[in-house]
Amino acid sequence: MANNLGLTVKPVCDITPEEERRVRAWIDTPEYKEKNFARQALVVNPAHACQPLGAELCAHGFEGTLPFVHGSQGCASYYRSTLNRHFREPAPAVCSAMSEDGAVFGGQNNLHEGLENACALYKPKMVAVFTSCMPEIIGDDLSAFIKNARQKGLLPKDVPSPYANTPSFNGSHVHGYDAMLAAILETLTEGRKVEGRCTGKLNFIAGFDANTGNYREYKRIFEAFGIPYTFLADISESFDSPLDGTYRLYPGGTPLEEAADSINGKATLSVAPYATTRTFTWVKESYSGEHVSMPMPMGIGKTDAFLLKLSELFDKPVPAALKAERGRAVDAMTDSHQYIHGKRFAVYGDSDYLVGYVSFLLEMGAKPVHVLCSKGSKKLEKELDGLLGASPYGKEGKVYMNKDLWHLRSLLVTDPVDALIGDTHGKFAARDAKVPLFRFGFPIFDRVNRHRYPLVGYQGVINMVTEICNKFIDLKDDTSDDRSFEMMR
Amino acid sequence: MSGTVKKVDGITKESTQAMIDRTLEAYPEKGRKKRAPHLAPNDPASGSACVRSNRKTVPGVMSARGCAYAGAKGVVWGPIRDMVHVSHGPVGCGWYSWGTRRNLMSGVNGVSSFAMQFTSDFQEKDIVYGGDKKLAVLLREAKELFPLAKGISVLSECPVGLIGDDINAVAKQMSKELDLPIIPCNCEGFRGVSQSLGHHISNDTIRDYVIETREFSEPETPYDIALIGEYNIGGDAWSTKPLLEECGFNVKATWTGDGQMEHIAATHKVKLNVIHCYRSMNYMCKVMEEKYGVPWIELNFFGPTKIKESLRKLAERFDDRIKENVEKVIARYEPRMQEVIEEVRPRLEGKKVMLYVGGLRPRHTVGAYEDLGMTVVGSGYEFAHSDDYDRTAPEMPDATVIYDDASEYELEQFVHDLKPDLVASGIKEKYLFQKMGLPFRQMHSWDYSGPYHGYKGFPIFARDIDMAINSPTWRLVKSPF
């Protein structure tokens, strides 16, 4: 029967232009901002996704690895299409396609059938299993399920199958990445620690980073130093593979043997202190050699610290080529400082990225005014406050933890800025505030090739300076009247 | 439709069956048995489905399917522009489906239309203690912050059903408190076998909570129709609605692309429902026919041949005034369509295309490709039912391969064998085939282009297909060294 809500039948009544104008003006007011910030339950335009997305990204970073989503099939399609859209690359992954009967009987049958089919069709060297909501709620015992699969011969003996619990009602994509990475490393390195053995290599952990250019930049730096390395979860080939007429299901990733031997490394370095806490804690307990966790090398200061750390760990001087590169990056900054000095910025993003943006902006004399994190910790808040407080350009900066992009919109319209740094999802807020958006984060669905331009290292500094300053110059050209439209800028 | 059976050189029932058998060899026995009935050579003369469909997805095969929530949020509810659609549960589902279907909206975003992501962002404590109280608070906040919203849909994600929340009770209570339609939609992703159940559940909630709650204030006319199953992908409805208006119709409501809740609620008062996407909305057409005596008609707005056929079929239901208008409209646009065809057809003649989309386009677009001189050599659906495959059989050439809920492995093998010049499918398939050096167009999202519907859409479709197949970039794929 219709009208189950028992509402009175009314005539169709369209929203009038007057009402639209009134509310449009109202949502830009401080009064609205106050109501907006008083929200307790409703989340509007969040800037974070759920754990399994990160787990899938991580799994793609290993040689011959098939990501396996244990849960409803729609979840798998969502993660895959998100990665497809951001990288404009394939993202092959399978799922156990649980449905109503799974809710009643548990997901073991689906998982087993899925493993058997996936191994036959896609011949993976490793299957990385992670969960979406359903098995987490009904309490599936992945450890037992996978053990049983192996006993039944559904999983080939030589195919490792790490698994991670990645419930979507906890943490974000960043935490799912961390959980999967820890699970993969724990599985691959099991029984591989050899007393007295040292690979002589650096184990490198980037955390959830969907910029393939960053991966290539890190490698270039290690190679310039002559430091042998194992990149733990290397997605650079998986999501930036050449087009040559052949589709490769597994075009790249960290070789499994190398990952297994990483436990005997000379040093393990994470540049994702917020995004790989779990992995790093475990690495500290289990891995040989030194363990270092430090901020992502974004901006000059943090890149300097990164290179000095590499120099110290491997007892090698910073190569002359990188020193020259530093000079070029500083040159680029001073050449263009006038276009960015004093400009007010709003920034949002994942924790490690956020620290990077703020450090870089302060170095340029720009003012990070609104610093917003959709999913962050007290520790992050403290670090950001510390960064802002230590710089004359950070005095107006305020950190907003666990807020969404509708909060951000209120900030942008009530306390205006000159630009926003974020990802594609920030485009509506940026448009309403009539400011440019710099897409340095994840995901980027509406511009091409951004993920190929590194943001880390000195090269990253040059890229960010170029993009930001040229945009401000474009704006000046676009908005100046004929008399002020001139050759020089 | 024509009754003549189309043939493709080199494709026979035997060759297609052999290709299917070779593909199935890779499966373990159980998987092979399950998949075999979903793959078959087409038999146009039979006029009925040659494959099994709407069954559970086989685990582990890399299906492209989504879930019931995707069907409810992405397809049926999400496009209604003047409602707040709450993804009720953890943060992910709403985030992934935010803006990704390209159902465009008029209005002012955040004021009178809501191309946004609203979620209750479930945390562990909501799973443990239930989310009903949070939902009530959230609904009050939504009403306060978005006062012009005409209603709120509550779209359940998996956990809501699993922990036993009662969103129906909350919706009922809060509808009264807020004097606002709040529609509970139990579309948890684990329900059913694909997006399709989400469409059905959403249709049912429109039946139960929306239809009949409003009435149009202007007087009825014999030309009042509603456009059903038009989602305004890339602006499709902004092509089809004016086209129907040009023919003399009053399009009283659009379901649901750029749709308005109250117009949808009064649709039981129209004289005819015109349905484009049969798969996702036939349910409500049938309800309105049975309950309110509103007849319905299936039309196809892809490519001039089908548009002409459809408009004449529609005019048959009306008086001479409409019939004359329709002929005038056809005469007005046909020359432009012929110009488009004359321009691109020489570059596309004889090119082969393989289709794999959701529940409608694998049959509806066949004519548009044929208008361009192309041949469809394979077709299939992610979530179609038997009645869709019945409708597909006469559209496709004889013995061409038909695939239901195809796995990526199957599609890859078929493409290897059939060597099409274009694959038209979704985002998850796109880059796989492009890596092979094969031109590709996304046929869910129009690959960020569109509209493709109606006379306004066909020149854009033709340009895009021409561009995809004839881009000089494909010639650079093979390296000289």
Task: Identify whether the C-beta of residue B155 lies closer than 8 Å to the C-beta of residue B85.
Answer: yes
Q: For chain B, what is the mean pLDDT?
A: 97
Q: Which of residues 111-140 of B touch A (CB under 8 A)?
A: 111-112, 115-124, 126-127, 134-135, 137-138
CB contact under 8 Å between A114 and B213, yes or no, is no
* Chain B contact for A166 (CB, 8 A cutoff): no
Nearest-Cα distance to chain A for B279, in Å, is 18
Rounded to 5 degrees, what angle do the CA atoms B400, B406, B412 make? Answer: 75
Residues of A in contact with B251 (CB under 8 A): none
Share of chain A above pLDDT 90, in %: 98
Task: Identify whether the C-beta of residue B265 lies closer than 8 Å to the C-beta of residue B217.
Answer: no
Query: Which residue in B has a C-alpha nearest to residue A241's C-alpha?
Result: B435
Q: Which of residues 185-224 of A touch B (CB under 8 A)?
A: none
Ranges in chain A, pLDDT < 50 = 1
CB contact under 8 Å between B92 and A74, yes or no, is no
The dihedral formed by the CA atoms of B261, B262, B268 and B274, expressed in degrees to the nearest 10: -50
Residue whose tokens read 């007393």: A195
CB contact under 8 Å between A92 and B61, yes or no, is no
* Chain B contact for A137 (CB, 8 A cutoff): yes
Residues of B in contact with A7 (CB under 8 A): 175, 179, 181, 213
Task: Identify whether the C-beta of residue B268 lies closer than 8 Å to the C-beta of residue B292.
Answer: yes
Rounded to 5 degrees, what angle do the CA atoms A219, A224, A228 make? Answer: 60
DSSP letter at A271 equals S
Residue whose tokens read 């209570």: B173
Instruction: Give the nearest partner residue to A94 out of B61, B148, B217, using CB atoms.
Output: B61
Interface test with A, best of B27, B38, B57 (most A CBs within 10 A): B57
pLDDT number for residue A5: 74
Q: What residues are paired with A344 via a beta bridge?
A: A367
Nearest-Cα distance to chain A for B321, in Å, is 28
- 3-state DSSP call for residue A399? strand
Residues of B in contact with A110 (CB under 8 A): 59
Task: Identify whether the C-beta of residue B257 lies closer than 8 Å to the C-beta of residue B232.
Answer: yes
* Chain B contact for A77 (CB, 8 A cutoff): yes
Other CB atoms closer than 10 Å to residue B236's CB: what's the count? 27
Helix A51-59 and helix A173-189, axial crossing angle in degrees, nearest 10: 40
Nearest-Cα distance to chain B for A107, in Å, is 11
Dihedral (CA of A405, A402, A349, A336) sign: positive
pLDDT number for residue A6: 75
CA distances from A29 to A398, B198, B340 (A): 19, 39, 50
CA distance B90 to B395: 42
- A366-389 burial code (b ≥16 CB/10 A, e <16): bbbbbbbbbbbeeebbebbeebbe
- ipTM for the whole complex: 0.98
Residues of A in contact with B63 (CB under 8 A): 73, 95, 97
Task: Identify whether the C-beta of residue A471 lies closer than 8 Å to the C-beta of residue A437.
Answer: no
Residues of B in contact with A145 (CB under 8 A): none
The 3-state DSSP composition of chain A as helix, strand, coil percent (nearest 5) reads 50, 10, 40
Rounded to 5 degrees, what angle do the CA atoms B410, B233, B372 make? Answer: 65
Known catalytic residues of B are 67, 70, 101, 199
Give the strands of the sheet with A202-205, arranged side by side: A229-232, A202-205, A267-270, A290-293
Please tell me the total number of residues recorded for chain B in this structure. Answer: 481
Residues of B in contact with A121 (CB under 8 A): 26-27, 60-62, 407, 409
- A136-156 burial code (b ≥16 CB/10 A, e <16): bbbebebeebbeebeeeebbe
CB contact under 8 Å between A73 and B162, yes or no, is no
**Cβ-based neighbours of B357, under 8 Å, separated by 6 or more:** B381, B382, B424, B425, B426, B443, B444
* Chain A contact for B409 (CB, 8 A cutoff): yes
pLDDT for B362-397, tens place per residue?
999 999 999 999 999 999 999 999 999 999 999 999
- What amino acid occupies position A113? E
CA distance A111 to A141: 11
Other CB atoms closer than 10 Å to residue B5's CB: what's the count? 14
CA distances from B156 to A171, B113, B120, B338, B478 (A): 20, 21, 10, 48, 48
B4 pLDDT band, cuts 50/70/90, is confident
Residue whose tokens read 């959701």: B358
Nearest-Cα distance to chain A for B454, in Å, is 26
Query: Which residue in B has a C-alpha nearest to residue A24's C-alpha?
Result: B111
Q: What residues are paired with A231 via a beta bridge?
A: A204
Interface test with B, best of A13, A35, A44, A130 (most B CBs within 10 A): A44
* Chain B contact for A320 (CB, 8 A cutoff): no
Residues of B in contact with A85 (CB under 8 A): 100, 427
pLDDT for A318-357, tens place per residue?
999 999 999 999 999 999 999 999 999 999 999 999 999 9
* Upstream peptide bond of A276 is cis (omega within 30 degrees of 0): no
**Cβ-based neighbours of A296, under 8 Å, separated by 6 or more:** A209, A271, A272, A302, A352, A353, A355, A356, A456
pLDDT for B394-441, tens place per residue?
999 999 999 999 999 999 999 999 999 999 999 999 999 999 999 999
pLDDT number for residue A1: 43
CB contact under 8 Å between B91 and A409, yes or no, is no
**Cβ-based neighbours of B293, under 8 Å, separated by 6 or more:** none
**Mind listing the domains of chain A with CATH numbers?**
51-189 (3.40.50.1980), 202-242+249-318 (3.40.50.1980), 324-479 (3.40.50.1980)
- What are the structure tokens assigned to A373, written together? 């994190």
Say how far residue B463 (Cα) sits from the centre of its chain. Answer: 22
Interface test with B, best of A53, A98, A133 (most B CBs within 10 A): A133
* Chain B contact for A68 (CB, 8 A cutoff): yes
Nearest-Cα distance to chain A for B281, in Å, is 17
Q: What residues are paired with A164 via a beta bridge?
A: A130
CB contact under 8 Å between B120 and A117, yes or no, is no
* Upstream peptide bond of A443 is cis (omega within 30 degrees of 0): yes
B1 pLDDT band, cuts 50/70/90, is very low
Q: Which of residues 242-301 of B touch A (CB under 8 A)?
A: 260, 262-263, 265-266
Q: What residues are paired with B87 via a beta bridge?
A: B119, B155
CA distance B143 to B151: 9
* Chain B contact for A122 (CB, 8 A cutoff): yes
- 3-state DSSP call for residue A418? coil
Strands B151-156 and B83-88: parallel
**Mind listing the domains of chain B with CATH numbers?**
13-62+349-448 (3.40.50.1980), 68-192 (3.40.50.1980), 224-328 (3.40.50.1980)
Residue whose tokens read 């990204």: A57
Q: Which of A55, A353, A68 is nearest to A182 (CA)?
A: A55
CA distance B436 to B269: 52
Interface test with A, best of B100, B111, B407, B445 (most A CBs within 10 A): B111
Nearest-Cα distance to chain B for A267, in Å, is 35
Q: Which of A61, A77, A52, A54 is nearest to A350 (CA)?
A: A54
The upper half-sphere exposure of residue B141, i.e. CA atoms within 13 Å in the direction of its Cβ, equals: 21
- Three-state SS string over chain B comes to CCCCCCCCCCCCHHHHHHHHHHHHCCCCHHHHHHHHHHEEECCHHHCCCCCCCCCCCCCCCCECCCCHHHHHHHHHHCCECCEEEEEECCCHHHHHCCCCCCECCCCCECCCECCCCEECCCCHHHHHHCCHHHHHHHHHHHHHHCCCCCEEEEEECHHHHHHCCCHHHHHHHHHHHHCCCEEEECCCCCCCCCHHHHHHHHHHHHHHHHCCCEECCCCCCCCEEEEEEECCECCCHHHHHHHHHHCCCEEEEEEECCECHHHHHCHHHCCEEEECCHHHHHHHHHHHHHHHCCCEEECCCCCHHHHHHHHHHHHCCCCHHHHHHHHHHHHHHHHHHHHHHHHHHHHHCCCEEEECECCCHHHHCHHHHHHCCCEEEEEEECCCCHHHHHHHCCCCCCCCEEEECCEHHHHHHHHHHHCCCEEEECHHHHHHHHHCCCCEEECCCHHHCCCCCHHHHHHHHHHHHHHHHHCHHHHHCCCCC
Residues of A in contact with B437 (CB under 8 A): 243-245
* Chain B contact for A245 (CB, 8 A cutoff): yes
pLDDT for B264-299, tens place per residue?
999 999 999 999 999 999 999 999 999 999 999 999
CB contact under 8 Å between A35 and B192, yes or no, is no
CA distances from B368 to B38, B273, B276 (A): 26, 23, 15
CA distance B115 to B117: 7
**Cβ-based neighbours of B396, under 8 Å, separated by 6 or more:** B6, B42, B44, B363, B366, B376, B379, B402
| End-to-end CA, chain B | 50
pLDDT for B220-273, tens place per residue?
999 999 999 999 999 999 999 999 999 999 999 999 999 999 999 999 999 999
**Cβ-based neighbours of B52, under 8 Å, separated by 6 or more:** B37, B38, B404
CB contact under 8 Å between A46 and B192, yes or no, is no
pLDDT number for residue B3: 63
Query: Which residue in A has a C-alpha nearest to residue B83's C-alpha?
Result: A15
Task: Identify whether the C-beta of residue A418 lies closer than 8 Å to the C-beta of residue A438.
Answer: no
Instruction: Give the nearest partner residue to B119 out of A11, A46, A113, using CB atoms.
Output: A46
Interface test with A, best of B121, B290, B407, B436 (most A CBs within 10 A): B121
The average pLDDT across B132-156 equals 98
